Amino acid sequence: MTLKSILISSLCAANAIFAATVFQNQVGFLTNGLKQIAVAEGAGQTLTLKDGEGTVVFTTEIPEAMPWVPSSKDASLIDFSEVTTAGTYDIFVGEEKVGHPIIISDNAFESVTKGSLKFFYFQRASTALDEKYAGVYARAKGHPDTSVKYHESTGHDIYLNETFSAPKGWYDAGDYGKYIVNSGITTYTLLQLYQQNKDYFDTLNLNIPESADKVPDILNEIRWNLDWMMAMQDKDGGVFHKLTTKQFAGMVMPEKAKSQRYAIGKGVEATWNFAAVMALAADIYAPFDSKFADSCAKASAKARIWAYENPYEIYKQPKDVGTGSYAGSNTWSGKIWTNAELFRITGEKVLVDSLRTLKYSRTRATLQSWSSSLMLEAFTIATNPKIFEKADVDTAKALIFYLADEYVASLDNNGFGVPLVKGDFNWGSNSVAANKGMVLIHAYILSQDEKYLNAAIAIADYILGRNPLDISYLTGYGVNQVMHPHHRPSQADGIEAPVPGMVAGGPNRGADDASSCGVNYAKDKAAAEAYYDNVCSYASNEVAINWNAPFAYLVGSIQAIYATGKTYDTTSTASKATYQLDLMPGPPKSKAKADTTENTEAIVKDVQLNPVQAGHRLVIKGNRVLLEKTSTDGTVKFFNLRGKKIR
Ligand code: 9MR
Ligand code: 9MR
């Protein structure tokens, strides 16, 4: 035996023991898109891709492995984008077949686009799901929400035993609550997906009950939630924070969860969210249902006035309520967001001033989430350069590129080729991933620079399997799928596989549910491995509408861009100033006096039931209601209800 052959045979023996492991998108790669996989324990060996006949279509030497901080394993990144023939291929390292089949097609992201949008149909409240659309996941009607009570936190007199009707909407997540703040970002994200990719989505069929009508299915689905949101606006323009039971239901089907439902809270967070979304909806639905669009525009303007007049109505979770709080979102950006969306449809100058405050927050760019809408207004402004002034457009773009460039930079020497960092792995980390993708898609739309599109594809690949757990986080798609999400219908329906098309929350270093699970699955784990595919794990394995929406946006935009060969044209006038709305805060001048008294009474009543915050109280001076703020040194200052200092 020569020395060389001894070396070769011992190398082969070593390979047999330390087989290379492949981490890859398990669903599909686009024919003309970026194609990457990550390989651990393979450096120095030869990797080949073979087609069904065994013909080698790609071969490379596996490069040195690199770390990726959120993973315990180092990996070598392989790029096989040069393979542009649709088909199914097997991966070999040396002679050994590894990983999962590589599927390449022009429509690789279409099934996941449809699936992640169909999820919203499965989440519909107040309706039965017919077998024709839901297949084995057909179910009875739950939560009619036609006699909803007012919780005292709404400011309504609970002794009157009034009820109101607010049916439809999507269940928020694995629970059956409906929350305005979270509906806001979700609905905006889906509306943008449509608005920016009309050619693709005008004809995409989701097989839902409205599929036969003339409205694009994605808009039919969104309408289900908008109808509910509309019903959450109180007569005075303020919007209730949420509609839930007082406590979470057990793990039962919707029709078995029969506890009384309440409107809970009424505050600026929900009201700004509502106002922004309704303004965008007014624009998008105008060609399909002008009456509805008109009512969206009016509801938006009315909500905005309420929010201006009640800036201190901050949602506080009542003591007797245990459902999700969605408390603490930033309201200054909700205000800018609303003014931006309303400016787009009215052209009213009074709305522009607040946009200027964006300048000061440029370096505070924060990824969008249910609690921060700053990037949402940035998306709207940056993609409408014909409507907004250059200074505002430049600021919005700066915000987007500030974040997008940071994500792209994180790809340097990154073994998995995934632009996520350790700090991303908290409750709902897959939505952080998908929302980063949404920023990157905007950077691509605005620059046409492929590095942003490629980084977005890397994030889609991550969620679909290129992660250290070799798991597809989208139920129903991929080889190793999530099987036990914290999702009440999936747990209670007696069907083994969960409802398809749901993005699981994902790894969470915090393991906030460790006590419910009886195990701390994050202990001694790398960030991207702190995940538990168990129904107990609401902090790593729940599903949620605001997690599915950015994923649908991400894969839907990527698919649409490759299918149509173009991106959203930001230079086309996206909309005209078509609405004339009453935008001035304060009661209409002609009836000023009567309304003031009425408002005063309403406000005072609210206050007694719902104190503002420590050191603040509302006082009546003459016929005016003022906010009195006492600081810790005892100084007292007075403000009017629009936040302006009086003395
Ligand atoms: O099922 C609830 C889930 O939808 C929420 O996101 C989560 C956090 O608020 O709470 C879940 O409910 C759990 C409760 O908080 C604690 N006891 C166990 C409940 C079900 O797992
Ligand atoms: O997504 C929310 C996450 O950011 C919070 O940390 C967490 C705890 O407040 O709540 C998450 O939202 C849950 C909501 O409160 C109730 N429905 C299920 C949501 C997803 O877990």
Domain with CATH 1.50.10.10 in the chain: 110-505+542-564
List pLDDT tens digits, range 34-91: 999 999 999 999 999 999 999 999 999 999 999 999 999 999 999 999 999 999 999 9
Atom 21, ligand 1: residue with shortest CA distance: 536
Structure tokens at 371: 């609690």
Residue 209 pLDDT class (50, 70, 90 cuts): very high
Residue 368 Cα, ligand 2 centroid: separation in angstroms? 15
Contact 495, 487 (CB under 8 A): no
Nearest Cα to Cα of residue 566 among 420, 453, 408, 405: 453
Contact 180, 270 (CB under 8 A): yes
Query: Is the shortest distance between the CB of 544 and ligand 2 below 6 Å?
Result: yes
Residue 318 Cα, ligand 1 centroid: separation in angstroms? 17
Atom of ligand 1 nearest to the CA of 516: 18
Q: What percent of the chain has a predicted confidence (pLDDT) above 70?
A: 89
Mutate to test the pocket of ligand 1, among 171, 248, 491, 508 (most ligand atoms within 8 A of CB): 248
pLDDT of residue 612: 46
Amino acid, single-letter form, for residue 96: E
Q: May I ask the CATH class of domain 18-105?
A: mainly beta
pLDDT of residue 89: 98
pLDDT of residue 381: 94
Beta bridge partners of 618: 627
d(CA 640, CA 62) in angstroms, rounded, equals 67
d(CA 13, CA 269) in angstroms, rounded, equals 62
Residue 556 pLDDT class (50, 70, 90 cuts): very high
pLDDT of residue 290: 96
**Strand order in 76-79's β-sheet?**
21-23, 36-40, 76-79
DSSP-derived secondary structure letter, 372:
B
d(CA 58, CA 80) in angstroms, rounded, equals 7
Structure tokens at 486: 């914290």
Q: How much is the average pLDDT of 222-230?
A: 99
pLDDT of residue 6: 46
Atom of ligand 2 nearest to the CA of 326: 15
d(CA 606, CA 153) in angstroms, rounded, equals 8
Q: Is 76 exposed, middle or buried (0-12, 13-18, 19+ CB in 10 A)?
A: buried
List pLDDT tens digits, range 478-510: 999 999 999 999 999 999 999 999 999 999 999
Residue 505 Cα, ligand 2 centroid: separation in angstroms? 10
Contact 529, 429 (CB under 8 A): no
Atom of ligand 2 nearest to the CA of 369: 4
d(CA 68, CA 222) in angstroms, rounded, equals 38
Residue 542 Cα, ligand 1 centroid: separation in angstroms? 9
pLDDT of residue 160: 92
User: So what's the architecture of 110-505+542-564 in CATH?
Assistant: Alpha/alpha barrel (1.50)
pLDDT of residue 643: 74
- For residue 115, what is the enclosing H or E element? helix 110-122
d(CA 99, CA 617) in angstroms, rounded, equals 63
Residues 6+ apart with CB under 8 A from 159: none
Contact 555, 201 (CB under 8 A): no
Atom 3, ligand 2: residue with shortest CA distance: 427
Nearest Cα to Cα of residue 436 among 357, 366, 495, 527: 366
List pLDDT tens digits, range 95-148: 999 999 999 999 999 999 999 999 999 999 999 999 999 999 999 999 999 999
Q: How much is the average pLDDT of 280-288?
A: 96
Q: Is the pLDDT of residue 229 over 60?
A: yes
DSSP-based three-state secondary structure for 374: helix
- Chain centroid offset of residue 382 CA: 19
pLDDT of residue 605: 37
Higher pLDDT, 595 or 131: 131
When computed from its CA atoms, the radius of gyration of the chain, rounded to whole angstroms, is 26
Residue 356 pLDDT class (50, 70, 90 cuts): confident
Residue 618 pLDDT class (50, 70, 90 cuts): confident
d(CA 147, CA 160) in angstroms, rounded, equals 14
Atom 18, ligand 2: residue with shortest CA distance: 173
- For residue 46, what is the enclosing H or E element? strand 46-50
Atom 8, ligand 2: residue with shortest CA distance: 324
Mutate to test the pocket of ligand 2, among 123, 170, 171, 175 (most ligand atoms within 8 A of CB): 175
Which protein residues touch ligand 1 with a CB less than 6 Å away?
A: 173-175, 248, 324, 516, 538, 542
Residue 248 Cα, ligand 1 centroid: separation in angstroms? 7
Helix axes 374-382, 331-346, angle to 10 degrees: 20
d(CA 180, CA 148) in angstroms, rounded, equals 15
Nearest Cα to Cα of residue 178 among 529, 546, 430: 546
Residue 550 Cα, ligand 1 centroid: separation in angstroms? 23
- For residue 241, what is the enclosing H or E element? strand 240-244
pLDDT of residue 575: 62
Domain with CATH 2.60.40.10 in the chain: 18-105
pLDDT of residue 67: 98
Atom 6, ligand 1: residue with shortest CA distance: 538
Catalytic residues: 175, 486, 533, 542
DSSP character string of 279-290:
HHHHHHHTTT-H
Q: How much is the average pLDDT of 337-365?
A: 84
DSSP character string of 73-104:
S-BEEEE-TT--S-EEEEEEETTEEEEEEEEE
How many CB atoms are located within 10 Å of the residue 567 CB?
18
pLDDT of residue 5: 46
